[in-house]
A and B are shown apart, each in its own frame.
Chain A
Amino acid sequence: MEDRPHKAHRPSQSGAKAEKKKEKGKEKQHGFNEKAFAPRSGRRAEKQGRRAAERDQTRLHVPLVNRTPDDLPPPVVVAIVGPPGVGKTTLMKSLVRRYTKQTLNEVKGPVTVVSGKKKRITFIECNNDLNSMIDVGKVADLVLLMIDGSYGFEMETFEFLNILQSHGFPKVIGILSHLDLIKKAATLRATKKALKKRFWTEIYQGAKLFYLSGVLNGRYPDTEILNLSRFIGVMKFRPLVFRNSHPYLLADRLEDLTPREEIRKSNGTCDRTVTVYGYLRGTNLRMGTKVHIPGVGDLEMKSVSMLGDPCPLPDADSEKRRKLSEKKKLLIHAPMSDVGGVVYDKDAVYINVPGSFTRGNTDVPQGEGERMVMDLQDVRSTLEDRVSRSQIKLFGSSSKPLEAGPSRLPDQYGDEEDEEDEDMDEEEGSDDEEEDGWSEMDEEDELDFDGVEDEAAEEGADQGRKTLRKVNRDRERGMWTSHQGREVDYADSDSDLGEVGDEDEGFQGFGSRRVHFDDDEDAVDIQSDDDVDALSDGEEAPQWKSDLASKALLSYQQHSKRAQRKDWIKLIYSSSLTPEQILSEDPSNDVVDSAKPTDDDFFTIKSEAAIGNEDHDDDRSKPTLNEEDFKEWEEEELLDSIRGLFITGSSNETAEGEGDYEDMEGGGDFEDLEAGDNTEKAPVDPEAARAAELAAKKEALKKKFDEQYDDPDGSKMDFYDEKKDEIARQLQINRAEFEDVDPEQRALVEGYRPGTYVRIELANVPCEMIENFDPTYPIVVGGLLPAEERFGFVQVRIKRHRWFTRTLKTNDPLIFSLGWRRFQTIPIYSLDDHSIRMRMLKYTPEHMHCYATFYGPVSLPNTGFCAFNSLSNTAPGFRVSATGVVLDIDRSSKIVKKLKLTGVPYKIYKNTAFVKDMFNSALEVAKFEGANIRTVSGIRGQVKKALAKPDGAFRATFEDKVLMSDIIFLRAWYSIQPRKFYNPVTSLLLSDKGEWKGMRLTGQVRREEGLKTPLDVNSTYKKVERQPRRFNPLKIPKKLQAALPYASKPKIMKPQNRQTYMQKRAVVMEPEEKKAVALLQQIKALRKDQVARRREKQDERKAAHRAKVAKEEAKKDEKDKEKRKEYMRVAGMKSKREQEKEEGGRSRKRHKKD
């Protein structure tokens, strides 16, 4: 019943309903009044036009290729980020519940759900560790940034936003939670407004901000979550440049494949073989690329295999039967969480079973894990028993069936695989029901199955992991088997031999034997033996000459026929033939050679011969021209045969010319061979071909005419559309090219495409990654470009973050997050000095970009990065210390610092001076001959030549006479290289992942070790003692003085020795006068006294006032203190409450387990 196709809906063509519909449409048309929107004036029209054009331009972005396939895109990574206690897990649970109707108890690691017909989402929760935030920022497509509405923004939020900014900004939706804690409506409104404003300045004006009110039943209100999910659903993503050029994977599962025995022997310290599972994203992942796991390091991919999609999109079939598949559609894939009763850990699988392990409890719906456990109980006999009872024969010829021995034979692989396959089938089947059992999973026990304990069950799975894990979705398996069949055909050259041998017989039947490849260059020369004989025998041979051309043409055609039938890909990539053998006419002999090269004496002799013939194996690009090879071209017939390849020749000339040859071949063995080979297209009927060609030509002409006639401007696109069109066309080609190739070949040619679920096997993984595995820390597997694997000096443009309080110092270690990597290295800061040199800076400048050069793994220019001084959670303040972009990559750096050499003159002639104390030897001087020098007073000069006497002294000339007291200096530039220090941040290897310790500063080390800073005596500052300079008085000879003009004569006066007129006189006052003076004196004295008294009074007043003010101040301080106390008390209570809440949750959980 179900699979019968439903009838399509047919709208009624007549009747009341149709009338109604028609009217409705018309009405709408009617309502639109065009005039209403017409501009009223020309000016306005122009304005509107301009505005529209401007708005149109804002729509445009630089066209970028989206490497993610449209048909089966990988799930969108939605990261939930925020400070602890803000409600991340609650949001995650609510969203998962919304999409899958399942409640997760414990959310760990990524959770993938199907969110729509063509859309899946991987949710990941990011903890508060800075390392996690960096990694998540690099892979998230959408960030749900949670902010505690009752508290406001926290430092981590801003740090995270800065990390996002430097690694390409993914989409961000802000979510305010804990809004129910704000009781007053007015405060709530104000808070929302303030937070929104801040959020907008941080992201962009109009960024989406969601408000979540309180928690109901441990989840956010359903309507709010529904709204949020709708916003997530319609989110469009623009490809980010870095992710669009690197393959990457967010591991949702991790497995340790190292043999147990090895781990046991090495006490768990041996390097592990690990597989990670996840959806590929970014670009195609090819074999041979190295991968980097941030927090672990660079790793080699041992193998990659495509697995069936654990969370497949609803296909067309299930879409049709929407009602039935409603449940099926609600798929969830979260291996590290507890979905379906199964939790995958690094080395074990935990299965939750409700109630007890009793059978017959059939009314309880069973999940995948429970079923597995129940099935295990069915086993009545050991594996050994079963094998001994079985009748499996390894080979058809073996007389005895397989026996169970004490040790496992490698030959047993086959059935092991089968067993595993069966397991997988079961998993497959139970997949469908997995959600059924899941609502009742609240009070179950956790049962720990250790792989070692349960041998019978685990052996197959445990050991089988050494081979590839094949998950067999039906589709996949079909391909797998078919591919395997072919692999056998071609991997062995023996079987190849058989096949080609058949072909060869066919050719021999045709009549002419080929000259084999005795001479390497003879691949072109394909004359038959008879011809060769004839050539060497005599010149006469008219009949030879007559059909030379046709023979040549014929042989050429045969050659090319054969060449066309070759499977070039297999021959080149999966055979061990030498290039010459591939090209040689008859591969059968060569295959014999290459099949058993060890016991074939002939082969070795031949290679010796080749060595003697030196010309042939040289790396030469031009083929040797042998005149004999071109003899055939003397024939007119042959010359005419290629006329069709020139524009002057008619198009079908060659076709016709070849036509009759084909007829000739028709009788031979060619026909059936061709029929057998279906890659070869059937020979075309020349008539039909001509007709098709004509039709195509007509079509093209018609199209051209239409284009010109209909819309002369229509074909003209602007730059933007042209580019977009070009990109679309190329993507179309990409899709079409490998559509029909089988998946294995396809992966070989173009790599594993994004959207596929893969399993990557990594070798030599540090054991700490497994030992200290914590699913709450994301594992990102980032593919590296070939250039990124190597090390070098990286020059970056860097700017200290304005919120970072300290300046950055050259040669201080800094932690970079660049590309996929996080590493500590030692940068040297520099600035471009007049475009002449890169001059070292001791400190980063304020509010300005500068350059930094460091040694480390290179990244492509234009990659953004951010830098940190410390990643630890206890570091105070803002932790992002700098941001920037990569500019240049090199193997050497050109940074210089200034070096001033000083010396003093010890002998001065006019403009020449002998300088000492600058160099130590004549050799050093020789190196600096001709260098510019300068005195402190600014007289410029040049180093001339070393002097013999004091070592290192030299003669120098100046533009003026220097003084003995001058200091002479030479300004030189000393080049420095950054230290080759690279220390990857291996945070995932630690048991306490936040506590990674890198290289410390010298001061830090001294402080921690309690060492004193060594003090160099010469480096201490001492008081500078400056002798006052004494100048001798200027003496001018008498004679010269006499000759000087008056103005220049020194005018030296003797002090006056006669008494002046006033000095000679004594003053006697009249009595009247005396009285007046006395009175004046008294008045002045009175006044003085008055002023003094007044001042005293004023001081008193001032003192009183000051005392009053001080008193008031003290009162105010008291009040402030009280206020602060109150605030801190409230904050403390809040934090305590939060802590309690967290602990409470934990303790509640603990209770449940008990």
Chain B
Amino acid sequence: MTSTATSSILSFSGHQYLRHRLVLSILSAKTVKIDKIRSDDKNPGLRDYEVSLLRLLERVTNGTVIEISVTGTAILLKPGIIAGGAVTHECPLSRSIGYFLEPLIMLAPFAKKPLNLTLKGITTDDQDLSADLIRTVTLPHLQLFGISEGLELRIRKRGSPPLGGGEVQFLCPIVKQAKTLNFVEPGKIKRIRGIAHAVRISPQFSNRMIEASRSVLNRYIPDIYLYSDVYKGEDSGKSPGYALSLLAESTTGAIHCAEATSKPGTAPEDIALLASRALLVEVRRGGCVDRQHQTVVLMMMVLGSEDVGKCRMGEPTPRTIQFLRDVRDTFGTSFKIVPADSSSPGTVELIYSCYGTGYVNANRSLA
């Protein structure tokens, strides 16, 4: 019974999954080398938002060395320590704030000082989690791991694509160690919440979305509150847009979410229906954690104390699968994934369990 070693320098290739690879590298303090970044593309190399992310990571950390090859198709990151503190970053308009916030949510609890990050750019788009979902869904997931006091995301201004102009402030406390998760009871959906917002257009749009969404969801549950979030003037960004983000919370605190954003030529009712149905799909997938948050939860489970953490989730997404493989390469932790004996045989629910690495926030100072 023998297992062989992994080397201390990690190498990956391809531009995919860049974010979690960088996060894993910084958390594990292992140098990462990523090559063949769009090397076969007509427009090879890193995109502007990826460079911006690297810059943001450099600013949040102390002593990080990032080397980008001349063509931009390979990077080498020698991670420093996660410093935290007050940081302001201007995000490019090609990706929304969610793209930048997601990796930082995994890093911030293990910083030296509490992070106070101000990000400027697009708050909601159709590629990444919107600021609303991060505030209402992602942050509660962190609370499962004992990261709660002082955890906050303030949406100062909203910004829709293409011009953005939004601003969010992310405050994250530091912890010594993430708590071990044991979350296997998905429970039943007890409430549905939602935020509909419309900027630089008629506020009537959000009301129309709410109404359409209720037409689908009302049949299930009476406890539905869909807020119409209004931002005026300067706070509403530079471009018009609207979106509906929904979340369903279960009796045990499991949250599923879905979101749909405005597209040109689509009625707000259609957007609302899309969001509502996407939520129903998420709910049907079951588990305690929805698809978008699998990686965050798994990451924190890996970083937990040296105990067995368990979580019930649906089928892994491609991102999650690659994440699990990368975690194995960086931390040497593998998950045990077995089907959950769910009462309803129709759903794919798996129990992910792992033995935490006992990651302790070494950056935290005692003095």
Contact = CB atoms under 8 A, between A and B. Distances in A.
Given A483-B1, A786-B29, A622 B332 contact: no
A661 B337 contact: no
Given A568-B337, A655-B344, A621 B277 contact: no
Contacts of B317: 579, 583, 623
Contacts of A622: 98, 126-129, 259, 292
Given A303-B2, A733-B307, A861 B220 contact: no
Nearest to A623: B291
Interface in B324-346: 324-325, 328, 331-339, 341, 343-346
B248 to A, nearest CB: 8
Contacts of A745: 336
A578 B335 CA distance: 18
Residue in B81, B292, B316, B346 with the greatest tally of chain A CB atoms within 10 Å: B346
A1082 B219 CA distance: 140
A621 B364 CA distance: 30
A65 B221 CA distance: 44
Contacts of B222: 648
B3 A747 contact: yes
A1012 to B, nearest CB: 42
B348 A563 contact: yes
A301 interface: yes
B143 interface: no
A582 B338 CA distance: 15
B193 interface: no
Contacts of A689: 343
B346 A658 contact: yes
Contact of A580 (B318, B320, B328, B331): B318
A209 B332 CA distance: 46
Contact of B321 (A582, A789, A885): A582
B156 interface: no
Interface in B142-163: none
B366 interface: yes
A219 interface: no
A617 B324 CA distance: 18
A630 B2 contact: no
A786 B40 contact: no
A861 B4 contact: no
A861 B277 contact: no
B77 to A, nearest CB: 13
A165 B348 CA distance: 54
Contacts of A737: 308, 310, 336, 353
Nearest to A653: B344
Interface residues of B, number: 103
Given A579-B321, A630-B277, A738 B360 contact: no
Given A304-B2, A647-B190, A560 B346 contact: yes
Contacts of A887: 365-367
A851 interface: yes
Contacts of A749: 333-336, 354-355
B348 A572 contact: no
A284 B306 contact: yes
Interface in A597-632: 607-608, 611, 617-625, 627, 630
A681 B81 CA distance: 47
Query: Which residue, A245, A559, A737, has most C-beta atoms of chain B within 10 A?
Result: A737
Contacts of A998: none
Contacts of B357: 286, 786
Nearest to B47: A618
A797 B367 CA distance: 9
A314 to B, nearest CB: 24
Contacts of B335: 569, 572, 749
A662 interface: yes
Interface in A627-651: 627, 630, 633, 639, 642-649, 651
A888 B360 contact: no
A226 to B, nearest CB: 39
A620 B322 CA distance: 13
Contacts of B260: 625
B3 A303 contact: yes
A654 B3 CA distance: 44
Contacts of A655: 343-344
Given A622-B259, A643-B220, A304 B283 contact: no
Nearest to B14: A617
Contact of B318 (A67, A520, A744, A890): A520
Given A303-B5, A851-B367, A661 B328 contact: no
B339 A654 contact: no
Contacts of B216: 633, 639
Interface in A305-324: 305-306
A564 B349 CA distance: 7
A730 B343 CA distance: 25
Interface in A753-791: 785-790
B80 A288 contact: no
A1137 B206 CA distance: 99
Interface string A668-683: 0000000000011101
A730 B354 contact: no
Interface stretch (B15-23, B66-74, B84-92): B15-23
A274 B219 CA distance: 69
B292 A621 contact: yes
B8 A642 contact: no
A216 to B, nearest CB: 47
B17 A642 contact: no
Contact of A568 (B219, B305, B343, B350): B350
B62 A891 contact: yes
Contacts of A468: 2
A286 B332 contact: yes
B315 interface: yes
B268 to A, nearest CB: 14
A617 B16 contact: yes
B118 interface: no
Contacts of A580: 318
Nearest to A288: B332
Interface in B279-334: 280-281, 283-284, 286, 291-292, 305-308, 310, 315-322, 324-325, 328, 331-334
B283 A861 contact: no
Contact of B62 (A620, A633, A642, A892): A892
Nearest to B329: A288
B207 interface: no
Contacts of B354: 749
B93 to A, nearest CB: 15
Nearest to A577: B321
B129 A287 contact: no
Contact of A579 (B18, B80, B286, B319): B319
B128 A621 contact: yes
Contact of A683 (B278, B305, B310, B345): B345
A153 interface: no
A334 interface: no
A792 B81 contact: yes
Nearest to B189: A646
21 contacts: A245-B306, A245-B358, A287-B6, A553-B346, A565-B339, A568-B316, A569-B335, A572-B337, A579-B321, A624-B126, A625-B275, A633-B280, A730-B180, A733-B182, A734-B355, A738-B308, A786-B29, A787-B29, A862-B366, A890-B112, A892-B62
Given A303-B4, A305-B2, 18 more contacts: A286-B332, A286-B357, A288-B6, A480-B1, A520-B318, A572-B335, A578-B318, A583-B316, A630-B277, A630-B278, A643-B220, A646-B188, A730-B307, A747-B3, A792-B81, A888-B365, A888-B367, A892-B63
Interface of B: 1-8, 15-19, 28-30, 38, 40-41, 62-63, 80-81, 98-99, 102, 112, 126-129, 180, 182, 188-190, 216, 219-222, 251, 259-260, 270, 273-275, 277-278, 280-281, 283-284, 286, 291-292, 305-308, 310, 315-322, 324-325, 328, 331-339, 341, 343-348, 350, 353-355, 357-360, 362-367
Listed from nearest, the 3 A-B pairs whose CB atoms lie closest are: A891-B63, A288-B332, A579-B318
